[in-house]
Amino acid sequence: MAIETGTTDPALIKHLSRKALWHLMPLLGFLCFVSMLDRISLAFAGPHGMNEDLALTATMFGFVVGVFTIGYVLVEVPTAGWATKMGPRRWIIRVLLVWGAIQCLIAFAPNYEILVVLRFLLGAAEGGFAPAIFYFITMWFVRSYRPFGFMLIGGFYSLASIVGPILGAGIISMGNAGFLNSLSGWRILLLILGLLAIVAAIPASIGLVESPSKARWLSDPEKEQYAKILSADAEVANTPHKSVIATIRDWRPWVIGMGYFGVTYAMFTIYIWTPTMVSQFAERFGTTFNVYQSALLAGLPTLIAVAYNLVMSRLAGRRGWSGKLVASGAVIGAIGALWTIVADGPVLLLIALSFVGIAGLSGAFYMPMVSRIFAGAGGYSAIAIVNSLGASASFVSPVLTGYLIDVTGNTNAGFFFIAGLLVMSAFLGLMAERLAKEGELDDVVHHSAVGGNAIKETRVDAPRS
C-alpha cells in the first residue's frame, strides 16, 4: 500500500518545531551545563586545596576522578528500564536531586576513602541523566530537527568545559578569601555546585513536559496539530519498538557506540590537554601569554568546533546526512590530529586542535541516527548504550594519553592514536546512517529543517529492508 509522507504543512512544522526549540532547549541546555560542571569540578578543586587537605597523591587523585566514570557507565544501561517506566521528566528531576545531594556530601569528605565512595555514587546517580535528555529530544522533535537539538546539547556541554574553570577559580578564590571561614575554597565550590543541581530541579519540574498536550505555551489547536505532526513522523520513520533486554542483545548500539567512543575520546583530549599544550607555547614557539589569554586560547578550538557543528546540524536535518557529517568531521579530525605533530607555530597548532575538536563534537550526530533505529524503551536503552561507551572515553582518554606522554615524552603518539580512532568512527558513522535508513518509509527527510524550506517529498510502496 502506498504511504503518503508529506501529510502536514511544512510551514506549520517549522513554526511549531521552532516554538518547541525555544521553550525546551534553553532549559535542557542549562541542565546539561550544570551536569558538566559537576563532572569536571575536581579538575580545579584538586590542585586548589583538595589534594593537599586530603593528602592525595597524583595516582589517588586520578582514581578519584576516574571512579566517577566507572559508576556512571555501570549504572547507565541497567537503569534504562526504570527510566522509561518513570518517564524522562521525572527521571531527570530525580537524578538532579540525588546527584546534587551527593555532591554536597562530597564537599565535606574527610578523607580519601570516603571521597572515592561518594564519587562512585555521584557517577551512578548521574548515569541516566544524558540518555534521558537525549530521549526527551526524540519525543519532542521530528527527525529533521533532532540533529540541531542534539548539537545544541553538545554545545552546552562544551561551553561548560570552557566556562567551568573560570567559574571554579573565582569561587575557590572567594572561598579562600574568607567567604565561609569554616570551609576552604574547594569545599565551597563543590557545595555550591551540589546546591545548584538541587535548585535546578525546580525549573526542570516546571518547564519539562513530555507531550504537546501538557505544554502551556501551545494553544489547544497547536497541541493537537503538533501531536499529529510527531505521530506522522513516527509512522513514516517506521522505527521498531524493542524491549530493553532485546536492545542490549542487539549488536547495533554496541558497534555504533564504538564510533561514538572514538569521537568522544578526541573531544576529551581537547578538553584536557589543550590547556597544557597552550602553556607550552613559550617553550615550543617562544610566545608568552598571560593567564586570561591562555584560557581564551585553550577554549578557542572548542568554540570553533561548536560553531562549525551547529552550522552542519542544519544540513543534517535538511538532508538527513548525520552519518556523512560524522564521517566528514572524523576525517577532518584525523587530519588535525596528524597536523598537531608537525605544526610549527601557535596559530597552526590551534587550527589543528580545532579540527580535532570538530571531530569530537560531531559525535552528537550519532544520536539522531540511533533514534531512527530504535524507539520506545529500546530507543532509550540504545541511547544509553551508545552514551555509556562514549562516556568511558572520559576515563580512558586522559589515562592513555598521559601514559603515552610519559613513555614518549611528547603528545605525538597520543595524536597518532586519535587519528586511528577517528578513521574508525568515520566508517561507523556511515554504517550507522545506512542502518538508520533501512526501515524508513520515506527516502528523504520530508519536513523542513531548521531555518530551511520544505524539501523533496516522496511516496514509496513498501519499507526498505
Across residues 313-324, what is the average pLDDT?
A: 78
Amino acid type, 288: T
- 457 is a domain residue: no
Rounded Cα–Cα distance for residues 407 and 404 (Å)? 5
User: Number of structural domains, the chain?
Assistant: 1
- 5 is a domain residue: no
Asked if pLDDT for residue 101 goes beyond 90, the answer is yes
Asked if pLDDT for residue 429 goes beyond 70, the answer is yes
- 460 is a domain residue: no
- 379 is a domain residue: yes
Rounded Cα–Cα distance for residues 319 and 192 (Å)? 43
Instruction: Please state the separation of Cα 407 from the chain's center in Å.
Output: 31
Predicted pLDDT of residue 193: 92
Higher-pLDDT residue of 183 and 92 is 92
Q: Which of 105-119, 220-234, 296-310, 312-326 has the lowest mean pLDDT?
A: 312-326
Asked if pLDDT for residue 36 goes beyond 50, the answer is yes
Asked if pLDDT for residue 405 goes beyond 80, the answer is no
- 43 is a domain residue: yes
Secondary structure letter of residue 4 according to DSSP: E
Q: Which of 138-152, 154-168, 184-198, 249-263 has the lowest mean pLDDT?
A: 154-168
Across residues 338-367, what is the average pLDDT?
A: 88
Residue span of the structural domain in which 412 resides = 10-451
- 464 is a domain residue: no
- What is residue 241's three-state secondary structure? strand
CATH number at residue 191: 1.20.1250.20
Asked if pLDDT for residue 43 goes beyond 80, the answer is no
* pLDDT band (50, 70, 90) for residue 454: very low
Rounded Cα–Cα distance for residues 105 and 115 (Å)? 9
Predicted pLDDT of residue 240: 75
- 401 is a domain residue: yes
Q: Which of 141-150, 164-173, 186-195, 422-431 has the lowest mean pLDDT?
A: 164-173
Maximum distance among all Cα pairs of the chain, rounded to whole angstroms: 74
Asked if pLDDT for residue 455 goes beyond 70, the answer is no
* pLDDT band (50, 70, 90) for residue 191: very high
- Which is nearest to 240 in space by CA: 362, 371, 144, 425? 371
Predicted pLDDT of residue 444: 41
- 2 is a domain residue: no
Give pairs for 57-66: CB < 8 Å, separation 24+: 60/112, 62/398, 62/399, 63/116, 64/112, 64/115, 64/116, 64/119, 65/119, 65/398, 66/395, 66/399
217 phi and psi angles, rounded to 5 deg? -90, 5
